[in-house]
């Protein structure tokens, strides 16, 4: 099995080396490339063809998000998954342009789980069709509700306020007509937002 290449771009040496060290613990599975300079991305995409690009969104939010939109287009053109490495608050509209988000408090198991779902079609999480009424962040909220998290837990997990969590839940109810946590759990299972293994981890 060929190794999957992961390219990490972040100005923070601690972040680059930290995530790199975690990923290199599975050296049989991943080949890690890292850089401090986002200007190297174009050359890396052409020469290395990474499966996943990890970047800090901070360097892409200026100029009305044009740089991030351009990076999103590169992900489509070059066929790699775009993952945000987040250790500060970012608007959910910004994060919605990424295929997934790695948070600073994610443990090793969660990081590998996210990356594996992005690179293994059989493990891929439910992705809403263009006509789906739900945003990616609303799907995140449903998943956490289904796993038994309180509004406060969800707010901390997603780096948003409790007020925003409540707003998401109201929107979910309006869009799906599902009010109860048990109903959202059934929805999450049917749409493969969670698996039986996720329940085992919460016990």
Radius of gyration of the chain (CA): 17
CB burial string 47-64: b at 16+ within 10 A, e below: eeebbbbbbbbbebeeee
Give CA 132 to chain center in angstroms: 19
- pLDDT tens sequence across 112-170: 989 888 887 554 544 444 445 788 888 899 999 999 999 999 999 898 999 999 999 99
pLDDT at 127: 47
pLDDT at 63: 66
Q: Identify whether the C-beta of residue 53 lies closer than 8 Å to the C-beta of residue 7.
A: yes
Q: Identify whether the C-beta of residue 63 lies closer than 8 Å to the C-beta of residue 35.
A: no
pLDDT at 126: 47
Mean pLDDT of 176-201: 77
Mean pLDDT of 172-195: 84
Instruction: Please tell me the pTM assigned to this model.
Output: 0.58
As a whole number of Å, the end-to-end CA separation of the chain is 34
Among 21-30, 59-68, 189-198, name the most confident range: 21-30
Summary mean pLDDT of the chain = 82
pLDDT at 162: 92
Indicate the domain borders of the chain. 4-123, 136-202
In this structure, which topology does domain 136-202 adopt according to CATH?
A: Arc Repressor Mutant, subunit A (1.10.10)
**H-helix or E-strand spanning residue 72:** helix 66-78
CATH of domain 4-123: 3.40.50.2300
- pLDDT tens sequence across 48-107: 788 899 988 887 776 667 888 888 888 888 888 999 998 877 777 778 888 899 988 888
Mean pLDDT of 167-193: 85
Of 61 and 203, the structure prediction assigns the larger pLDDT to 61
pLDDT at 154: 93
pLDDT at 196: 58
């Amino acid at each position: 099995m060929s190794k999957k290449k992961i390219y990490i771009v972040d100005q923070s040496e601690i972040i680059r080396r930290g995530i790199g060290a975690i990923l290199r613990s599975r050296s049989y599975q991943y080949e890690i490339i890292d850089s401090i300079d986002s200007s190297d991305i174009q050359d890396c995409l052409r020469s290395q063809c990474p499966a996943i690009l990890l970047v800090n969104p901070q360097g892409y939010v200026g100029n009305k998000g044009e740089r991030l939109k351009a990076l999103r287009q590169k992900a489509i053109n070059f066929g790699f998954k775009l993952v945000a490495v987040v250790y500060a608050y970012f608007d959910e509209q910004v994060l919605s342009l990424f295929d997934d988000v790695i948070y600073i408090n994610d443990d090793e198991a969660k990081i590998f789980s996210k990356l594996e779902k992005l690179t293994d079609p059989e493990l891929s999480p439910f992705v809403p069709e263009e006509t789906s009424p739900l945003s990616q962040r609303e799907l995140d909220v449903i998943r956490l509700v289904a796993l038994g998290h309180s509004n406060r837990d969800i707010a901390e997990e997603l780096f948003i306020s409790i007020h925003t969590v409540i707003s998401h839940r109201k929107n979910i109810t309006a869009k799906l007509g599902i009010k109860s946590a048990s109903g959202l759990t059934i929805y999450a299972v049917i749409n493969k937002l969670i698996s039986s293994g996720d329940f085992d981890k919460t016990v």
